[in-house]
A and B are shown apart, each in its own frame.
Chain A
């Protein structure tokens, strides 16, 4: 099928099978390799992207569900001038990224929660679907807290 959607603010059209994993469409067709595959079964969260600001695991989403939607991957999170999103800056500064393979998905899940704090009771619950094997989460929590402070919680819509 011909699939049309917006990714990181860019109108995009690709030819793909409707049941192709969104993860593969992003990585192979759009060449957005910042989205990672860790398990392929929706357990690790490394492939997290935002569809209309909601975090999804792109390994479980058939491509057809992206039709007409607005997608954000890690490559599109910063400002157009290249400035980092506050969550990205906080992850780098606080040492929340070690090996970095969970980082794109973790940052997107954290950004989604920062925009909708009612979606989870705390950062631990918000990030429970994103596994990190390096950090023990201590520095990830610190980064999320720092980013919330930095943006004064006024993050809504800033990350396009």
Chain B
């Protein structure tokens, strides 16, 4: 069962249109909600005017004054209000909520609400944020710094001082929109009797935890149900807390009538979270023959206007910043700063793609300075068994990077000589990297996730977990893991819809943790169930299970997360085993650059990876292919243009995604090295493929054009500017 590719369990519903997404659910007496947002980046709210033009008495209107409980979104610091009361910190900040049975009328009414805001000076860049804090005008703490980390292993300064060659560079990555094709949406029914929310979301218990204080309800009166969800990629990790709270506030004020809030694409792109923009400066020291001696890395991320999840995004970025290379003298310093942009948030990779782009692009520059082939420079410095990561984690097993890189390059084949028939300039590039599976540091221990199996009367088994299927195939893989252990057929295992009334908190569906961590809990539950009922073949098990059920035996088998033996992390010193397991990968890419337009396009892409045992080859390859495509988009096309701190090109007409027209089949190779503590030997997979494409494409562009471009997306005008700068530098020499 494990290692085979049965048709996904939700496949039939999805290809026939029967799968019900939140906007497809029907409710009697439904009201349509709408959010009125600030158009000012920073200021003080003085008043709200409801101009004539709609029958206002028919509307439900909610402002901060109507919040029955606490007006802050529950996350790490809970500093973000559901509705601005006095202080406005970013354009698109929610201020007023409206609801009405007529969807068209509520749109009209929203345009008639006038916010009177006294404007204050905003900060839109990292430099402006730091300068404002230096003037004593910090908006967060006394320095606008949401979070900082420092890793120091060995003596980086001394290593740089004794190096033959020191290389320095700064690498910038822009924001990126998750662009799930189904926009954010929820329906809520809320009253003092309780609240129920149906939503497009990744983390039912995040929403559960947020709604209780907002409404002043005890947890048992809060119920969150995941509808079929049309993609998330991190965008539906924390934002649903906000939209669910808004719908609940409207329903509460409306006396418990159901309220639907579904964003249109423009609002979704304008107002919701995106990948954190980042700037990383690296100084490295090498011996003349290319051995890496020392690394000094400084990372800055733009957090936006509220803390939200920024500290953990920064942490993952910091822990991945050293790359897949051995270096015993490393200093890494990182900070995330406030700006008056909508809060940046979770997006596949969660800080790591930004810093991996930096270290990989830095190696391209270093290789050119050293006169060493960039592929060879990587090989000389690969992490191996026994090496220690900058935060003190010793690798007990060899990551096998050599083999991954060999296979990726072999699949790509020999490089064509000279330009292509159309005169395009051809370049080849690679990236090599790792991604930690599961929550960072002590995260999994603190989460203490629970999953359960329920034995049904007919001898089948039901999975109880809050982990959501957002397209990646959670329900299929969970059923596979349990069926495999119990010798059952896939259809003998049903996976309960994530509904907080019935499923335990198996933690959020994030961080490449679901198959490995929650799947691991379920494998444990299945083992317990098997010992209670007795092992056998499929018929034997089901017979024994029916008898066990009829005899009143135990029917619920639950497991709580325990870290694998020997895995320890120290939050105070920020050292230890940051992740229980790592997935490893090498990407190899060929690009063609149009000599006239400088538009780069990907002609071939090979992704080789070691993710432990592959549970479902088709779904796993789908994860890699989709992640790579998002990485190609981030590298070549997806440019979030900010104006007044907020996305200016917030529509699909001018935010360019990869389409089928330029898509090439992505080639996926797995090396399977079963992981001792994963279900069936599996590790995490979901985020890994996001890390490699941007630096590999950058390396290929450098190969084609002879210049290393240090900022993505690699738009033609940026390539032109880099070529011009290189020419000027040559002329001046």
Partners in one complex: yes
Residue of A nearest to B11 (CB): A92
From known contacts A92-B8, A131-B181, infer whether A97 and B653 are also in contact, taking CB-CB under 8 Å.
Answer: no
Tell me the chain B residues, 1-57 only, with Cβ under 8 Å from chain A: 5, 7-8, 10-21, 23-24
User: Measured between C-beta atoms, what is the minimum distance from B608 to chain A in Å?
Assistant: 15
Which of B67-75, B87-95, B447-455, B465-473 lines the interface with chain A? B465-473
Q: Tell whether, in the assembled complex, residue B14 and residue A103 are in contact, meaning their CB atoms are under 8 Å apart.
A: yes
B618 touches A136 (CB 8 A): no
Known: A134-B622, A135-B626, A136-B629. Contact between A107 and B15, CB under 8 A? yes
Question: Is B7 a contact partner of A93 (Cβ separation < 8 A)?
Answer: yes
Q: What are 14 A-to-B residue pairs whose CB atoms are below 8 Å?
A: A36-B21, A44-B181, A92-B12, A98-B231, A98-B472, A98-B473, A100-B228, A133-B181, A133-B231, A133-B630, A136-B626, A136-B663, A140-B660, A141-B660
Chain A interface main SS type: loop
Question: Is A38 in the interface zone, CB < 8 Å from B?
Answer: yes
Residue in chain A with minimal CB distance to B654: A43
A6 within 8 A of B: no
B661 in the interface (beta carbon within 8 A): yes
Query: Measuring CB to CB, which residues of chain B are less than 8 angstroms from any residue of chain A?
Result: 5, 7-8, 10-21, 23-24, 178-183, 228-233, 264-265, 470-473, 618-619, 621-622, 625-630, 632, 651-653, 657-663, 665-666
Least distance between A90 CB and chain B CB atoms (Å): 9
Q: How far is the CA of A125 from the CA of B662 in the complex (A)?
A: 9
A136 near B16 with CB under 8 A, answer no
Query: Which of A33, A41, A95, A142 is the most central at the interface, judged by chain B CB atoms within 10 Å of its CB?
Result: A95
- The segment from A61-69, A71-79, A152-160 found at the interface with B is A71-79
Q: Assuming A34-B17, A93-B7, A97-B11, is B182 touching A130 (CB within 8 A)?
A: no
Report which of A41, A99, A138 forms a contact with B181, defined as CB distance below 8 A.
Answer: A99
Q: Is the CB of B626 within 8 A of A75?
A: no
Interface core residue of B179, B652, B659 (most chain A CB under 10 Å) = B659
Q: Does A104 contact B (CB under 8 A)?
A: yes
Chain A residues with CB under 8 A of B659 = 127-129, 131
Given A95-B8, A136-B628, the answer on whether A124 and B15 have CB atoms closer than 8 Å is no
* Nearest-CB residue, chain A, relative to B661: A128
Is A132 located at the chain interface by the 8 A CB criterion? yes
In the complex, residue of chain B having the shortest beta-carbon distance to the beta carbon of A74: B17
In the complex the two chains form, what is the Cα distance from A123 to B661 in whole Å?
A: 8
Decide: A136 near B666, CB < 8 A? Known: A99-B181, A99-B182, A100-B14: yes
A111 to chain B, nearest CB (A): 12
Contact assessment for B181 and A92 in the assembled complex, using a CB-CB cutoff below 8 Å:
no
Give the distance to chain B from A20, nearest Cβ to Cβ, in Å. Answer: 10
A135 touches B14 (CB 8 A): no
Q: Is A38 a contact partner of B651 (Cβ separation < 8 A)? A: no
Contact assessment for A74 and B16 in the assembled complex, using a CB-CB cutoff below 8 Å: yes
Indicate if A137 sits at the interface (CB-CB under 8 A). Answer: yes
With A35-B17, A46-B181 as contacts: A99 and B470 at CB distance below 8 Å: yes
Please judge, given known A-B contacts A103-B14, A135-B622, whether A125 and B181 are in contact too, CB under 8 Å: no
Q: How far is the CA of A26 from the CA of B663 in the complex (A)?
A: 31
A120 to B661, CA, bound (A): 11
Q: In the complex, which residue of chain B has the Cβ closest to the Cβ of A121?
A: B661
Instruction: Report the minimum CB–CB distance from A126 to chain B (whole Å).
Output: 8
Q: For A133, what are the chain B residues with a Cβ–Cβ distance below 8 Å? A: 178-181, 231, 233, 626, 630, 657
Measured between beta carbons, the chain B residues less than 8 angstroms from A39 are 265, 651-652
- What is the predominant secondary structure among interface residues of chain B facing chain A? loop
Residues of B close to A3: CB separation below 8 A: none
Considering only CB atoms, which chain B residue lies closest to A34 in the complex? B17
Q: Given that A88-B16, A98-B472, A100-B19 are known contacts, is A137 also in contact with B663, CB under 8 Å in the complex?
A: yes
CB nearest to B17 among chain A residues: A34
How many residues belonging to A are interface residues under a CB distance threshold of 8 Å? 56
> Cβ of A138 and Cβ of B625 under 8 Å apart?
yes
In the complex, what distance in Å separates the CA atom of A35 from the CA atom of B24?
Answer: 10
Residues in B whose Cβ lies below 8 Å from that of A4: none
| Interface residue A40 (Cβ < 8 Å from any Cβ of B) | yes
**Given contacts A73-B17, A92-B8, A131-B181, are A99 and B231 in contact (CB under 8 A)?**
yes
Set of chain A residues within 8 Å of B625, measured between Cβ atoms: 135-136, 138-139
Beyond A36-B23, A36-B182, A135-B622, 16 extra complex contacts between A and B, CB < 8 Å: A33-B21, A34-B18, A36-B181, A39-B652, A43-B651, A73-B17, A77-B16, A99-B230, A100-B10, A100-B13, A101-B182, A125-B660, A125-B661, A130-B660, A131-B652, A138-B665
A104 and B7: CB pair below 8 A?
no
For window 80-104 of chain A, which residues contact chain B by CB distance below 8 Å? 84, 88-89, 91-95, 97-104
Digitize A23-43: 1 where CB-to-B-CB distance is under 8 Å, 0 elsewhere: 000010000111111111101
Query: Would B14 and A41 count as touching, CB distance under 8 A?
Result: no
- Minimum CB distance partner of A85 in chain B: B15
Q: Find the residue from B13, B231, B618 having the highest chain A CB count within 10 A.
A: B231
**Which residue of chain A lies nearest to B632 when distances are taken between CB atoms in the complex?**
A136
Per the bound structure, the CA–CA distance linking A68 and B320 in Å amounts to 60
Chain A 10-31 interface mask (CB, 8 Å, partner B; 1/0): 0000000000000000010000
Known A-B contacts A44-B181, A141-B665; the reply to A99 vs B16 at CB < 8 A is no
Given A100-B230, A133-B630, A84-B16 contact (CB < 8 Å):
yes
Q: Establish whether residues A124 and B618, one from each chain, have CB atoms under 8 Å apart when the complex forms.
A: no
When A and B form their complex, which 5 residue pairs have the shortest distance between CB atoms, in order from nearest? Answer: A34-B17, A136-B629, A99-B471, A101-B230, A100-B14
**Cα–Cα distance between A35 and B632 once the two chains are bound (Å):** 28
Given A34-B16, A107-B15, also A138-B663 (CB < 8 A): yes
Shortest beta-carbon distance, A57 to chain B, in Å? 12
Closest B residue by C-beta to A104: B17
User: In whole angstroms, what is the CA distance A127 to B663 when docked?
Assistant: 11
Q: Which residues of A contact B619 (CB under 8 A)?
A: 95
Q: If the complex has contacts A46-B181, A75-B17, A100-B471, are A40 and B264 also in contact, measured as CB distance less than 8 A?
A: yes
In the bound complex, how far is the Cα of B659 from the Cα of A73, in angstroms? 23
A126 to B629, CA, bound (A): 19
Are B663 and A40 in touch, CB under 8 angstroms? no
Give the distance in Å from the alpha carbon of A104 to the alpha carbon of B182 in the complex.
13
Residues of A within 8 A of B662 (CB): 124
For residue B232, which residue of chain A has the nearest CB?
A99
- Residues in B with CB closer than 8 Å to A132 are 181, 660
B233 touches A124 (CB 8 A): no
Complex CA distance for A61 and B471, rounded to whole angstroms: 29
Name the B residues within 8 Å of A98 (CB-CB): 231, 471-473, 622, 626
Distance in Å: Cβ of A93 to nearest Cβ of chain B: 6
Q: How far is the CB of A159 from chain B (nearest CB, A)?
A: 13
Residues of B within 8 A of A138 (CB): 621-622, 625, 663, 665-666
Residues of A near B232 (CB, < 8 A) are 99
CA distance A33 to B470 in the complex (A): 19
Residues of A within 8 A of B629 (CB): 135-137
CB distance from B665 to the nearest CB of A (A): 5
Alpha-carbon gap, A14 to B15, bound state (A): 27
**How near does chain A come to B497, taking the closest CB pair, in angstroms?**
15
Q: Quote the shortest CB–CB distance from A24 to chain B (angstroms).
A: 9
Q: A9 vs B527: C-alpha distance in the bound complex, in angstroms? A: 51
Chain B residues, Cβ within 8 Å of A38: 181-183, 265
Contact A33 B17 (CB under 8 A): yes
User: With A95-B8, A133-B181 as given contacts, are A124 and B661 in contact (CB-CB < 8 Å)?
Assistant: yes
